[in-house]
Structure formats: structure tokens, C-alpha cells
Amino acid sequence: MQLRTTTLVPVFSTIFQLAVTVVVPLAVGQLIRFLTNFEASSYPIGILGQIALLFIIFVTFCQAFLNQDMQMNAHDILTTVLLGELIFVTHHFIFCKFTFLSTGLLFV
């Protein structure tokens, strides 16, 4: 653990990269939608968004393990994945239980 360490962050290039990766595609999409009267209800936009998010997470995960400075062995990776799945299943169970209780349907 390193304490009292400073670093310089290139603010302009970071903001420029953020603008190129987020703001420009958003603006182009809004412009296309305005010019073509695009109807989102006829396309599976929600599923495409979920697939895009999954792809971004997968690419970020892969890039994290390309870094040779990260000292993780197979045991650490497996533990992380299993804990993530445990958290997901627990939240899913709590959500389903809350949904059934709020609708008045009781399953014993």
C-alpha cells in the first residue's frame, strides 16, 4: 500500500476522451432520431442495450487481466466470481419475495 503518493491526471485529454466516447455518439443518435422520426417501439432496444452493457463489462474484464502488474491467481478470480453470483442470487431472491408479498400472493 502506497501512502503519500501523488500523480498527475491529464484533465483535458480525459474530458476529450469522455466526450468522444459518450457525448458524440449520444448527440449523433439524437440527431438521427430527430431527422428520421425513429420509432423505438418497433426494435428490441432494451435487449440491444443489455447486450452492449454485457460487451462493455466483458471487454473491461479482459483488459483488466491483460495488465501484468495485477497479482491475482485463479483462487482469487474464482472467489470473486462466486461472491458476485451469491450477491446476484440473493438480490434476485429478495426482489422476487418482495414482489410476491406486495401483490398479496402468498406461496408457502
Instruction: Give CA torsion, residues 38, 40, 41, 47, to 10 deg.
Output: 150
Beta strand residue intervals within the chain, DSSP E: none
Does the pLDDT at position 106 exceed 60? Answer: no
Range of the domain at 77: 72-108
CA–CA gap between residue 51 and residue 43 (Å, rounded): 14
Does the pLDDT at position 105 exceed 80? Answer: no
Residue pair 36/43 in contact by the 8 Å Cβ criterion: no
Does the pLDDT at position 74 exceed 70? Answer: yes
What is residue 57's predicted lDDT score, i.e. its pLDDT? 86
Does the pLDDT at position 15 exceed 80? Answer: yes
For residues 57 and 101, state if they share a domain: no
Tell me how many domains the chain contains. 2
Residue pair 94/101 in contact by the 8 Å Cβ criterion: no
Work out the average pLDDT over 62-72.
73
What is residue 102's predicted lDDT score, i.e. its pLDDT? 67
Residue 65 domain-assigned (yes or no): yes
CA–CA gap between residue 39 and residue 32 (Å, rounded): 11
Residue 108 domain-assigned (yes or no): yes
Residue 7 domain-assigned (yes or no): no
